[in-house]
Amino acid sequence: MDDCHPDTFDQVRAWLQGARHIAVLTGAGISAESGVPTFRDAQTGLWARYRPEDLATEEAFRRNPQRVWDWYAERRERLRGVQPNAGHHALAAFARRHPGRLTLITQNVDGLHQLAGSEGVLCLHGSIADNRWLNRPRPCCDLASAIPGRPPRCAGCGNLVRPAVVWFGEELPQQALDAAQQAAQNCGLMLVVGTAGAVYPAAGLAHRARHAGARVVVINTAPSELDAVAHAVLRGPSAHLLPALLADSDPAQRAQ
Ligand code: APR
């Protein structure tokens, strides 16, 4: 299951218990055990011949709106009925037991942290469940009355509806990014869970935490680009490691 050294695990638990503020940065890997393929997983079926980088861009959408819309429609369909796993739940439960101590930052668009009960999640890459307009909306642009289609469009001006996710090369939501950078700057410990650490500015949060003096811990089943910035790496699945790591050891703490 996991092959992180017991001493490392105990060391991380000690850091966690001693940290006044904890920032958690998650990626697609935390949803893997809910059955959601990660971006590293090979695309399957119709999409096997495309890379996410070739579909998740404004340019790809403008070039072939139906293809990109259909890719998201299939991903949305695959997410129906998908449940959060023990890793999502462990983070939500810890935050409930320790109000104000944990800031959850995610690159995921699947909404599983929110479904597990996490509140105030900083969603750096938007949400696959939501839509927005491709071009700046005019008074006629109303999502509720868009003409159905692949993609839907505005009845008044023909503006196209697109998924409300951040595509490669696009700006991240400034408010979420500012809050995430502040959490990285001020935390005593950052957990980096289930991310390859290859996409910026999200991955830069781990560097920022390290440079600000926080302990950085990577939880991942495989080597990642952020292992080098970590003080400790717990090699294993997050659905197994997070519940063990975040459980309150002291029964008195459980009373809180
Ligand atoms: N537990 C922990 N880590 C896991 C697990 C697991 N059960 N399964 C896979 N992983 C790790 C993989 O080893 C990999 O390092 O999760 C990571 C997934 O990497 P990616 O698929 O690249 O996902 P992510 O890092 O979140 O991508 C970041 O890039 O594609 C864009 O916008 C998209 O938000 C995404 C961003």
212 in the same domain as 108: yes
184 in the same domain as 145: no
Mutate which of 58, 220, 225, 226 for ligand 1? The one with the most ligand atoms within 8 Å of its CB, which is: 220
- CA-closest candidate to residue 116, choices 24, 222, 202, 230: 24
Tell me the residue range of the domain where 108 lies.
Answer: 1-35+83-125+172-256
* Distance (Å) from CA 61 to ligand 1 centroid: 23
State the pLDDT at residue 2.
63
2 in the same domain as 44: no
The domain boundary, picked from 137, 165, 193, lies at 165
Mutate which of 107, 165, 171 for ligand 1? The one with the most ligand atoms within 8 Å of its CB, which is: 107
224 in the same domain as 196: yes
Q: What's the number of domains the chain is made of?
A: 2
203 in the same domain as 151: no
CB 193 within 8 A of CB 25: yes
241 in the same domain as 225: yes
125 is catalytic: yes
The domain boundary, picked from 142, 165, 188, lies at 165
State the pLDDT at residue 256.
43
pLDDT at 101 over 90: yes
Q: Which long-range contacts (CB under 8 A, 24 or more apart) does 99-102 make?
A: 101/19, 101/20, 101/21, 101/22, 102/21, 102/22, 102/23, 102/24
State the pLDDT at residue 52.
85
* Distance (Å) from CA 200 to ligand 1 centroid: 13
**Mean pLDDT throughout 143-157?**
97
Q: Which DSSP letter does residue 147 get?
A: B
State the pLDDT at residue 54.
87
Tell me the pLDDT band of 157, cut-offs 50, 70 and 90: very high
Sign of CA dihedral 128, 224, 122, 201: negative
- Give percent of the chain with pLDDT exceeding 70: 96
Sign of CA dihedral 191, 194, 198, 199: negative
177 in the same domain as 60: no
187: domain CATH number is: 3.40.50.1220
Residue 133, beta-bridge partner list: 161
Return d(Cα 180, Cα 29) in angstroms, integer.
Answer: 19
Q: Which DSSP letter does residue 160 get?
A: B
State the pLDDT at residue 121.
98
251 in the same domain as 223: yes
